[in-house]
């Protein structure tokens, strides 16, 4: 069985995302121009649906994410997929070898990835309605932990950076060799800035340009 804490976080943040989406399905999501909260729910539903498929089919090569079925309400579909993914996760073995985005290649990757995926997009959904709550400590910790294996390769030639989460009592180094730059802040603020969202954290110029230049996901 996967981590009860992580699965509980996906459930809690996932249901919060749905609640905010239902409050204003047509509200625009600032992080994704042209997207409504209904579009965001559809996107997260696709990502969750792929995770459920990976848990059950144990693929060794990349698999596609399901798309919103024609005629379905996107938020209603998202909630259905969320419940199905939670069920699939609770039955999964984290040590099972599967296709992943990292070098380890184990099913536990997808559990951790969904904590961050759902937690950050909860922030997006809540932010579309007003001032969002910070990311949870768990989302922040796992989010900072996946910068090196997932995002660094897409940032191009950036200097080695040390990120210090003062509230979590931890630091992460991104890149090889000794860090040539250092940033400090709350874990939530660090993750949000590295993922190109509003934050009190100021990144070095090369990092700021790189993260802000990443293309948004395609609208589903």
Pairing state of beta strands 181-185 and 161-165?
parallel
According to CATH, what is the number of the domain 4-127?
A: 1.20.120.450
Per-domain residue ranges of the chain: 4-127, 137-212
pLDDT of residue 219: 65
- 99-126 pLDDT per residue, tens: 999 988 999 999 999 999 999 999 999 9
Global confidence as pTM: 0.96
Would you say the CATH fold of 137-212 matches that of 4-127? no
At residue 217, does pLDDT exceed 90? no
Residue 41 has pLDDT above 90, yes or no: yes
The CATH number fitting domain 137-212, selected from 3.40.630.10, 1.20.120.10, 3.30.460.80, 3.30.1050.20: 3.30.1050.20
Please give the pLDDT value at position 199.
97
Q: Calculate the average pLDDT of the chain.
A: 96
Q: List the one residue out of 179, 178, 175 whose CA is nearest residue 148.
A: 175
Tell me: the pLDDT tens digits for 160-201? 999 999 999 999 999 999 999 999 999 999 999 999 999 999
- Grouping H, G, I as helix, E, B as strand and the rest as coil, residue 94 is coil
Sheet holding 161-165, edge to edge: 170-174, 161-165, 181-185
């Amino acid at each position: 069985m996967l981590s009860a804490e992580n699965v509980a976080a996906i459930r809690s943040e996932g249901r919060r995302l749905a609640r905010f989406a239902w409050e204003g399905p047509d509200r625009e999501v600032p992080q994704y121009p042209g997207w409504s909260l209904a579009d965001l729910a559809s996107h997260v539903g696709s990502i969750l649906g792929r995770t459920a498929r990976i848990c059950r089919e144990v693929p060794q090569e990349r698999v596609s994410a399901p798309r919103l079925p024609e005629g379905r309400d996107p938020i209603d579909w998202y909630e259905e997929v969320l419940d199905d993914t939670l069920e699939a996760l609770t039955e999964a073995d984290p040590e099972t070898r599967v296709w992943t985005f990292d070098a380890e290649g184990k099913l536990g990757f997808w559990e951790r990835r969904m904590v961050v995926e759902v937690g950050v997009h909860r922030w997006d959904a809540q932010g579309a309605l007003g001032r969002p709550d910070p990311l949870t400590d768990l989302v922040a910790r796992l989010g900072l932990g996946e910068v090196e294996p997932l995002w660094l390769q897409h940032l191009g030639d950036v200097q080695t950076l040390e990120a210090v989460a003062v509230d979590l009592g931890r630091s992460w180094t991104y890149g090889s060799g000794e860090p040539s730059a250092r940033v400090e802040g709350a874990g939530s603020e660090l993750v949000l800035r590295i993922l190109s969202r509003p934050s009190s954290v100021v990144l070095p110029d090369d990092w700021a340009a790189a993260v802000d230049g990443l293309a948004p996901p395609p609208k589903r």
